[in-house]
Chains A and B, each alone.
Chain A
Amino acid sequence: MSRPEIEVRGLHKSFGDNEVLRGIDLEIGQGEVVCVIGPSGSGKSTLLRCVNLLEEPTRGQVFVGGTEVTDPDVDIDAVRRRIGMVFQQFNLFPHLNVTENLTLPQRRVLGRDKATAARVAAENLARVGLSEKADAYPASLSGGQQQRVAIARALAMGPEVMLFDEPTSALDPELVGDVLAVMRRLAEEGMTMMVVTHEMTFAREVADRVVFMDGGVIVEDGRPDRVIGDPRHERTRHFLSRLLDPAMAEVEEETSDQVGKSGT
């Protein structure tokens, strides 16, 4: 593996007194697909959001494509152009139609002309299978369609890395498949991807590596069949058993280890 595409060194993040990340070291190589799993409040979303500096780390360094993101003098807008991000809540721009959602960022941020932006938008809408929705407004689309448009919007900027923050968690179960199919194809095309998810099947089949986080640290990191199929740590086993077979879980006391607010 040459120089890692994403590199995280000694990352700490606190919200007030609440230490959500307690020293994270992580490398993701070019073209690698890494799924980050873990209980809610384990800090996995916060870690992802530190990679493109939507959250400012308290301590530590983050490099993307060799550029230090955490450098106070870095042109963060330029770095973010190379990092696509997909959110749990889609965050499409509701006042713009689908095509405008894809063309406005290209034109305002990359300075592409109208024709080029429209061509790139059409290509990427085709990539996520939504060419026929080009003129629709986000509110008229299903959640799954909105999320695919959001992926296309990020791709239209030509990113080198894609971050996915629980991309299917807000979807009705029957719509999850379409979004995962788009992500799977993206992985096959060689995109470097960091995916925070609860979709174990996706992690097992698509990811090159699975990272299990709990209490603000990385507990386990390895190939999916190893981490999911044969976890070494009790905490991983416990989490996986509750996730894979929720009906069998016992009622348990809340532990102070569950840091962070829900959703992080």
Chain B
Amino acid sequence: MSDTDVRLQPRKKGLTRRQKRGISRGVQYAVFAAAVIAFAVTADWGRLRNQFAQADIARQMFPDVITLALKNTVLYTLSGFVVGLVLGMVIALMRLSSVGPYRWLAGVYIEIFRGLPALLIFIFVGVAVPLAFPGTEIPGGTYGKVAIALGLVSAAYMAETIRAGIQAVPKGQTEAARSLGFSPARAMVSIIVPQAFRIILPPLTNELVLLFKDSSLVLFLGVTLEERELSKFGRDLASTTANSTPILVAGLCYLLVTIPLSFVVRRMEAKAREAIR
């Protein structure tokens, strides 16, 4: 009884809620301003500009950075995505299978490839496999190797995404399809999977963004000049010119693709939220 009385009493001393909020915000702005000023004063602007923003070095990178490096990055990413999507679909269906060993195998695959660094997979595909099986050649050369390495890694993530998407389709959809005479396989292909893909389009696009960045691991496969992608291209030029501008340009090229893609994902997610409402 007595604490209700205390709560009802008007506050007599100390700051009000509004005053506290004002002070808190003031302090945050002050810290921010101090950090910006400190950086502007202490940074060696001439040196930074010299290292990262030399216009003639940047100019010298064009058009190869686009026509060769960015093109290869996109090619590596897309081929890895396609392999990952197909493999991921198979693994997701195995995970949902009524046959125990399939479920178990799919589970093992997912745990292994989600738990290993992508770099290790690249080394495995690029170095360990040729060493272990001399004479075997992965078709497509570097492109084939990258497609497989990126595909193996992304399949594990995509399998889990696809499985979640399939399970998110209401059970009534399967029942309706089955009651109309669809076989289980036909119901899955014609009714369930198309709806599942609508649900998982945003996370799949996210996976594409991740792959786009992971394609830089090609660096460790040892590629020819024509096979270089953005990171390798930037690094090579950085060492020949002894300047960091190429790294900055390569980075901007990544962002040229990833930022619009992320924007598209956010739009899709917002749209999906609207559709549910």
Contact = CB atoms under 8 A, between A and B. Distances in A.
Interface of A: 52, 54, 77-78, 80-81, 83-85, 87, 89, 91-95, 104-105, 108-110, 139, 150, 153-154, 157
A54 B195 contact: no
A109 B182 contact: yes
Given A93-B191, A95-B194, A80 B181 contact: yes
Interface in B185-217: 186, 190-191, 194-195, 198
B195 to A, nearest CB: 5
B272 to A, nearest CB: 13
User: Which residue among B175, B194, B198 has the maximum number of chain A CB atoms within 10 Å of its CB?
Assistant: B175
B195 A108 contact: no
B50 interface: no
Contacts of A80: 178-181
A52 B177 CA distance: 12
A157 B172 contact: no
A52 B179 contact: yes
Interface of B: 170, 172-173, 175-183, 186, 190-191, 194-195, 198, 275
Given A108-B186, A109-B180, A54 B173 contact: no
B180 to A, nearest CB: 4
A109 B170 CA distance: 21
Contact of A89 (B172, B177, B178): B172
Contacts of B176: 85, 87, 91-93, 150
A77 B175 CA distance: 12
B194 to A, nearest CB: 5
A91 B181 contact: no
B173 A91 contact: yes
Nearest to B187: A108
A91 B181 CA distance: 15
Contacts of A83: 179
Nearest to A92: B176
Contacts of A109: 180-182, 186
Given A93-B191, A95-B195, A139-B275, A105 B175 contact: no
A83 B180 CA distance: 8
Nearest to A104: B190
Contacts of B195: 93-95
7 interchain residue pairs of minimum CB distance: A91-B176, A81-B181, A85-B179, A91-B172, A109-B181, A105-B180, A80-B181
B277 to A, nearest CB: 11
Contacts of B183: 77
User: Which residue among B173, B176, B178, B179 has the maximum number of chain A CB atoms within 10 Å of its CB?
Assistant: B179
15 contacts: A78-B181, A81-B180, A81-B181, A85-B179, A91-B170, A91-B175, A91-B176, A93-B176, A104-B190, A109-B180, A109-B182, A109-B186, A153-B180, A154-B180, A157-B180
Contact of A108 (B170, B172, B182, B194): B182
Contacts of A139: 275
User: Which residue among B177, B180, B191 has the maximum number of chain A CB atoms within 10 Å of its CB?
Assistant: B180
Given A80-B181, A109-B181, A87 B172 contact: yes
Contacts of A91: 170, 172-173, 175-176
B181 A77 contact: yes
B275 A108 contact: no
B198 A77 contact: no
B190 A108 contact: yes
